[in-house]
């Protein structure tokens, strides 16, 4: 069972309800849980930029509050780049169901960024459902094609070790980023009730409480 966090930045906040409905319809019958961190509408008091999406995703994933982050922006590129700026986050850019399946099998990451403005028209919610279905079609990390499984799994482990060296500690990051930037990332109206009961890291919880104080 996975805990899945949904995050929307401000330019695509008005699509949050549609995305959440598509996600829940696929994952809840499989036993997974969805935690919707917003934004819930374009008028939310707490406005998330795609940079703040990366901060929030890093806090959620590094603390163990969720196992997977579903996010995006207009093109999906900004959210992906922001997420991958942080330790403990491996985010793929997912446009279609093939991307979704191959990301889970080849890259075995813990976040995906979708292009919520690109090609968003008639049938967009169907593409979302098909993407989410392929995310959970098989156990992650199995390899694709299957004969490439061993080198792909080896490369994933190598990448994880590289990120440990090239990225600094999440606590250091939270303490040294612009405090207002970080505070804005964790100021959503439901953040406290979604994050703190699920957080598994006392250090990160304390760092976030200090930011919110």
Give residue 121's pLDDT: 85
Residue reference for tokens 């406005």: 47
pLDDT, tens digit, for every residue of 178-187? 999 999 999 9
Distance CA 62, CA 121 (A): 35
Give residue 119's pLDDT: 84
CATH code: domain of residue 32: 3.40.1400.10
pLDDT, tens digit, for every residue of 81-131? 999 999 999 999 999 999 999 999 999 999 999 999 988 888 889 999 999
pLDDT, tens digit, for every residue of 14-59? 999 999 999 999 999 999 999 999 999 999 999 999 999 999 999 9
Distance of CA 174 to the CA centre of its chain: 18
Give residue 123's pLDDT: 86
Q: How is the chain split among helix, strand and coil, in percent rounded to 5? A: 55, 10, 35
C-alpha dist (Å) from residue 18 to 13, 28, 41, 68, 129 = 10, 15, 11, 19, 10
Could you list the residue range(s) of the whole structural domain that residue 101 is in? 3-212
Distance CA 118, CA 173 (A): 32
Q: How many structural domains does the chain have?
A: 1
Give residue 87's pLDDT: 96
Q: Nearest Cα to 188, choosing from 3, 2, 8?
A: 8
User: Alpha helices of 113-190 — where are they, by DSSP H?
Assistant: 124-135, 149-166, 170-176, 179-185
pLDDT, tens digit, for every residue of 136-165? 999 999 999 999 999 999 999 999 999 999
Give residue 158's pLDDT: 95
Give residue 153's pLDDT: 96
């Amino acid at each position: 069972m996975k805990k899945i966090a949904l995050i929307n930045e401000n330019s695509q906040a008005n699509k949050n309800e549609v995305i959440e409905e598509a996600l829940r319809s696929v994952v809840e019958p499989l036993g997974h849980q969805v935690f919707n961190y917003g934004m819930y509408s374009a008028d939310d008091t707490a406005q998330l930029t795609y940079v703040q999406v990366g901060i929030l995703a890093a806090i959620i994933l590094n603390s163990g509050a969720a196992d997977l982050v579903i996010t995006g922006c207009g093109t999906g590129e900004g959210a992906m780049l922001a997420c991958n700026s942080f330790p403990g986050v491996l985010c793929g850019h997912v446009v279609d169901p093939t991307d979704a399946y191959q990301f889970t099998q080849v890259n075995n990451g813990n976040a995906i960024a979708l292009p919520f403005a690109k090609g968003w028209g008639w049938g967009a919610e169907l593409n979302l459902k098909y993407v989410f279905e392929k995310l959970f079609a098989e156990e992650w990390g199995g390899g694709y094609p299957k004969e490439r499984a061993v080198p792909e799994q080896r490369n994933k482990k190598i990448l994880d070790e590289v990120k440990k060296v090239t990225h600094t500690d999440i606590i250091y990051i939270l303490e040294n980023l612009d405090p207002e930037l970080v505070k804005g990332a964790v100021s959503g109206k439901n953040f406290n009730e979604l994050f703190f009961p699920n957080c598994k890291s006392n250090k990160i919880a304390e760092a976030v409480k200090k930011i919110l104080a």
